[in-house]
Amino acid sequence: MSYLGDVATLARKDLRLELRARDTLPAMLLFVVSTLVVFHFALPEGADEVAAQGLLWVALVFTALLGLARAWAPERESGALEGLVLAPCDRSAIWLGKAAAVFAFLSSVELVALPAFALFFGSVDAATVAGVVLASIGICAVGTLLAAMAAASRTRELVLPLLFLPLAIPLVVGGVGASVSSEPARYLAFLALYDAIFSILCWASFEYVVSE
Amino acid sequence: MSTSSPSSSTSKSAVPALAALAAALVGIAIAFAFYVAPEDADQGISQRIFYFHVPIALTAYACFAWGAVKGLLLLWRKDERYDLESYVAIHQGTIFGSLTLLTGSIWAKASWGHWWLWSENQLVLFLVLFLFYSAYFMLRFSIEEGPRRANISAVYALFGVVLIPVSFLAIRLAENIIHPTVFTRDGPQMSGVMFLTFCIAWLAMSVLAYALYRLELLGKRLDSNLRELRELLT
């Protein structure tokens, strides 16, 4: 089977698991809407729209963390990761398949979150949508690898946000810049640069995270 | 499984000499910073912390880079001793990084009257790095010792050196730049003595970091050898 065929099979496995068990996606959806409602009460009367734009990114990053914490749970609970590592496919395909599945979940959540945000707090412009798409790629690429690291540790869900948030700061900078700046192009370019650099790094180093 | 390197017998004798050299150099740097370098016309006495703040920051970067190089060597050559070396380098880097935050904070208070300024790009970068490398220790100590932990630590160390320029760019994009730029493309804007003092301080901090690195490595190797002996006895 070709490399992309392996990736597609692995991603399809995750999507099928999710369709059958419905563990992660409903939780992420409910979480992002609840967070937006909490933000309405966290923003005092008279707070400007720019502040709300920043909070959108907080909501997205934390929702992604919720999904990422569960990303490797099926493999861990049934001890399937060893099997996947031994399978005759390139190990980076495991990472790419998982990142694609996580991206599918996160995009579905954003399809709900962005209209909900527009409904609650005002408009969402094209630059914000582009920023969300680019940042989601980076979140999924880096987050999937870090989640695999965290899955190998005793503390698991506890350590993942600690690993992820410092690496997510540039994404938040790029995303918020794209949302609020009058010239979003350079922020979008920065997000694309981040995606390219970290995707290559994750793709090259995943093998070492899962093997001994 | 042996964690001691072939050169451990020679390094034992080198560490006291290195420590003495580091102490002497730090002494000379302090003397130069306080008594030889002329007082800055603009900032007065508070500018003298520059001779410690900037060299410490540069040393911290060097330690993180050293840790990443050792991590890369581990992934490449699968030699277990690089794991401990990478860890110790990052440990030293985190210590020097904390010192950078501390001295930078003091400098900001003396110069601008605030302990913390978000407009200080370098300080913000060090805060991000401090959080990132603190998570390194959380991760490392929650994984069972073995090749898996060594690999994961090495990959995380590599992420660190990539994060440094990316974060730097991000912080530049996020903030306008008011941090005083001493080095420009035309060379340092310092008098000769000031530059000499800076170089001595930089050398002193580098040697100090290296001495601490060797010392910690020696202690850690001794620990693990002792543990192996105990396991053999029981």
Q: What is the ipTM of this complex?
A: 0.91
User: Minimal Cα–Cα distance from A105 to chain B, Å?
Assistant: 25
- Using CA atoms, how far residue A61 sits from A4, B6, B156, in Å, is 28, 47, 20
Strand pairing of B187-188 and B183-184?
antiparallel
Residue B171: how many CB atoms within 10 A of its CB?
A: 23
- Residue A198: both structure tokens together: 């970290």
> Which ranges constitute the DSSP H helices of A43-158?
49-69, 73-77, 80-86, 91-121, 126-151
Task: Give the pLDDT mean for B82-105.
Answer: 95
pLDDT at residue B27 greater than cutoff 80: yes
The helix (run of H) or strand (run of E) holding residue B226 is helix B192-233
Cβ-proximal residues to B31 (8 Å cutoff; 6+ apart), any chain: none
pLDDT at residue A134 greater than cutoff 90: yes
pLDDT bucket at B189, cuts 50 / 70 / 90 = low
B184: helix, strand or coil: strand
Instruction: Confirm if A97 and A84 have CB atoms less than 8 A apart.
Output: no
pLDDT at residue B185 greater than cutoff 80: no
Which of B76, B162, B169, B129 lies closest to A142 in space, CA to CA?
A: B162
Q: Which residues of B touch A154 (CB under 8 A)?
A: 142-144
Q: Which residues of A touch B86 (CB under 8 A)?
A: none
pLDDT at residue B66 greater than cutoff 60: yes
Q: What's residue A204's pLDDT?
A: 94
The 10 Å CB-count burial string (b at 16+, else e) for B198-220 is bebbbbbbbbbbbbbbbbbbbeb
pLDDT at residue A81 greater than cutoff 60: yes
Q: What's residue B14's pLDDT?
A: 85
pLDDT bucket at B178, cuts 50 / 70 / 90 = very low
Q: What's residue B177's pLDDT?
A: 35
pLDDT at residue B73 greater than cutoff 80: yes
Interface contact A190, partner B, CB < 8 A: yes
Q: How large is the angle between the packed helices B8-31 and B192-233, nearest 10 degrees?
A: 150
Chain B: residue whose CA lies nearest to A187: B173
Mutate to test the interface with A, among B72, B74, B152 (most CBs of A within 10 A): B152
pLDDT bucket at B216, cuts 50 / 70 / 90 = very high
- Residue B232: both structure tokens together: 């053999």
Task: Give the pLDDT mean for A166-195.
Answer: 91
Place of tokens 């609840």: A34
Of chain A, the percentage scoring pLDDT greater than 70 comes to 100
pLDDT tens sequence across B196-208: 888 999 999 999 9
Chain B: residue whose CA lies nearest to A203: B155
Q: What's residue A164's pLDDT?
A: 95
B214: helix, strand or coil: helix
Place of tokens 């005092």: A44
Q: What's residue B200's pLDDT?
A: 92
Q: Give the C-alpha separation, A99 to A206, whole Å.
A: 12
Least confident piece of the model among A102-116, B161-175, B199-213: B161-175
Inspect the interface and report whether the beta carbons of A186 and B173 lie closer than 8 Å. yes
Q: What's residue B6's pLDDT?
A: 47
pLDDT at residue B186 greater than cutoff 70: no
Instruction: Name the residue with higher pLDDT: B232 or B180.
Output: B232
Inspect the interface and report whether the beta carbons of A152 and B148 lie closer than 8 Å. yes
Q: Give the C-alpha separation, B234 to A112, whole Å.
A: 61
Least confident piece of the model among A90-104, A118-132, A198-212, B172-186: B172-186
User: Minimal Cα–Cα distance from B131 to chain A, Å?
Assistant: 6
Instruction: Name the residue with higher pLDDT: B199 or B175.
Output: B199
The domain limits of chain B are: 49-179+189-226
Inspect the interface and report whether the beta carbons of B152 and A208 lie closer than 8 Å. yes
| Nearest residue, CB atoms, B142 vs list A153, A197, A211 | A153
Which of A66, A60, A64, A68 lies closest to A144 in space, CA to CA?
A: A68
pLDDT bucket at B175, cuts 50 / 70 / 90 = low
Instruction: Name the residue with higher pLDDT: A41 or A139.
Output: A139
Residue pairs between chains A and B whose CB atoms are closer than 8 Å: 88
Interface contact A184, partner B, CB < 8 A: no
Query: How many residues does this entry show for chain B?
Result: 234
Interface contact A54, partner B, CB < 8 A: no
pTM: 0.88
Q: Return mean pLDDT, chain A.
A: 91
Q: Give the C-alpha separation, B67 to B217, whole Å.
A: 13
Q: What's residue A49's pLDDT?
A: 74
- Residue B222: both structure tokens together: 């001794």
Of chain B, the percentage scoring pLDDT greater than 90 comes to 59
Q: Which residues 141-160 of A have a C-beta within 8 angstroms of B?
A: 145, 149-150, 152-155, 159
pLDDT bucket at B183, cuts 50 / 70 / 90 = low
Task: Give the pLDDT mean for B162-172.
Answer: 89
Chain A: residue whose CA lies nearest to B155: A205
Partnered with residue B44 across adjacent β-strands are: B40
User: Minimal Cα–Cα distance from B195 to chain A, Å?
Assistant: 34
Q: What's residue B190's pLDDT?
A: 73
> Which ranges constitute the DSSP H helices of B47-119?
50-77, 81-112
Q: What's residue B10's pLDDT?
A: 53
Which amino acid is located at B168 in the chain?
F
